[in-house]
Amino acid sequence: MSCGGGEDPQPVARCFLCESTADSAPAGHTDPDSGPKTPTMSDCPPQTPLFSFGVIADIQYADIDDGFNYTRSHRRYYRSSLQLLGNAQKGWCESAVRPDFILQLGDIIDGFNKRHGASERALDSVLTELSCCPVEVHHVWGNHEFYNFSRSELLRSKLNSTPKTEPGSSPNRPPAPADCYAYRFSPFPGFSFVVLDAYDVSLLGRDTSSEQYGNALNLIRQHNNNEDLNCPPVPEGLGQRFTMFNGGFSKGQLDWLDSVLSSADDKHERVTIVSHLPVHPNSTTAMCLAWNFDELLSIIRSHSSVVCYMAGHDHDGGYCQDKDTGVHYLTLEGVIETPPDSDAFGTVSVYEDRMVLKGNGRIKDRVFLFAGCQSDNKQSDTCCS
């Protein structure tokens, strides 16, 4: 599979906020008093990033003609999503500072592949494209992973990116449930990432005779009486989330997250949580929220270490900042509903006091200032309670 396909090479080192180029380091701005003042130089991080990473969501590749979403309001570009992944790879490979890793936020291939017996072939295509840029990829699992593969198949697949634990080191994944796909990794001292399994409690990927399937069915039936459980139970409001294409986090996983965050609090680490389903109602449409989003929000709010939560699933994307905790909630626009002449990927540069998202195509540039870090920046995005 070709690695090419991008149209515009990335510019040389560039301040993402000032939109001006620099010849050497990404933070080539040293004189805070010179030149025009729009925007002010204080908006520019004064140092090179500690590290950076790429983000991409909902590629949903399938070798089929374009189609539409369930309500026929959005076009889906199944075949050209592979081309857009190629654009992202090219962008990351050719950037002045190559990302240290990529976060693939789930739904890497579409459920239609299963119907055509093409699941393995489609997965090979996207993984081949992803391997063009020799950078570590952390995979998140979404509903479309489970439309194509069982949970046990996924655990044995290349979509299981759980790092090997060093002998004697502290466990970086939940002790229970055993087949929960969640883990912690640290790409740089003082910074941790936690991949969460949003379908740990779900009807998807489970054998219908299993206890977990029965428990998930009982839960969703308390809220959704529709014959087709992919139909939301109510026309609007938070109750819309109780559909079969969503899921939730088990108590075992939440208890483990709580302990990981307590340890991170003690060490004054910055933690970014990633999963397929959004958990803040102001960062997405209610129909895309995790079933027990409120439990996860409550845990996040009880710890000082979390700086950002990233998700996919809602192809329109979304963002809000919790005004009480300062945590940023980003839902990334999906590749699958991005026209072939646009793009949907980003690169996040991480500094001591902030993360800076440089978006491409439909992805907006954003600054995620860490709570407690003072700045002259005007945070123009939505604040939410």
Q: Which residues lie near Zn ion (CB under 5 A)?
A: 107, 142-143, 313
Q: Which amino acid is at 265?
A: D
Count CB-CB contacts under 10 A for residue 240. 20
Please name which of 260, 134, 251 lies closest in space to residue 195, comparing C-alpha atoms. 260
Question: Smallest distance from the beta carbon of 314 to Zn ion, in angstroms?
Answer: 8
Residue whose CB is less far from Zn ion, 95 or 246: 246
Nearest to 56 by CA among 327, 287, 328, 348: 348
Is 142 or 318 the residue whose CB approaches Zn ion more closely? 142
Which residues fall within 8 angstroms of residue 174, CB to CB, at 6 or more apart?
180, 182, 252, 253, 255, 256
CB of 246 to Zn ion, least distance (A): 8
For the bound state, the minimum distance from the C-beta of residue 92 to Zn ion, rounded and expressed in Å, comes to: 23
Among 45, 52, 39, 53, residue whose Cα is nearest residue 15: 45
Nearer to Zn ion, 107 or 322 (CB): 107
CB burial of 294-317 (b: ≥16 within 10 Å; e: otherwise) equals eebbebbeebbbbbbbbbbbbbeb
Q: Judged by CB, which is closer to Zn ion: 142, or 248?
A: 142
Rounded CA-CA distance 351/48 in Å is 8
Give the three-state DSSP class for 382: coil
Q: Judged by CB, which is closer to Zn ion: 261, or 277?
A: 277
Tell me the closest approach of the beta carbon of residue 150 to Zn ion, in angstroms.
17
Q: What secondary structure does DSSP assign to 256-320, as a single string?
A: HHHHHHHHHHHTT-EEEEE-SS---GGGS-GGGS-TTHHHHHHHHHT-S-EEEEEE-S-TT-EEE
Taking the least distance from each CB to Zn ion, the nearer of 245 and 256 is 245
Around Cβ 59, how many Cβ atoms within 10 Å? 31
| Three-class secondary structure of residue 252 per DSSP | helix
DSSP conformational letter for 332: P
| Closest CB 278 distance from Zn ion, rounded Å | 10
> Given the complex with Zn ion, which of 260 and 289 has the nearer CB atom?
289
Choose between 2 and 69: whose C-beta lies nearer to Zn ion.
69
CB 26 within 8 A of CB 14: yes
Rounded CA gap, 198 and 183, in Å? 12
Name the residue nearer to Zn ion (CB basis): 288 or 307. Answer: 288
Give the integer Cα–Cα distance in Å for 380 and 113: 40
Q: How far is the CB of 381 from Zn ion (least distance, A)?
A: 23
**CB of residue 123 to Zn ion, shortest distance in Å:** 16
Q: How near is the Cβ of 237 to Zn ion at its closest, in Å?
A: 20
Task: Give the residue with the Cβ less far from Zn ion, 283 or 321.
Answer: 283
Nearest to 300 by CA among 286, 318, 319, 280: 280
CA angle 289, 290, 292 (to 5 degrees): 125
Q: Pick the closest to residue 145 from 245, 72, 241 (CA basis).
A: 245
**Six token digits for residue 158:** 């290349």
Q: How far is the CB of 170 from Zn ion (least distance, A)?
A: 31
Tell me the closest approach of the beta carbon of residue 277 to Zn ion, in angstroms.
Answer: 8
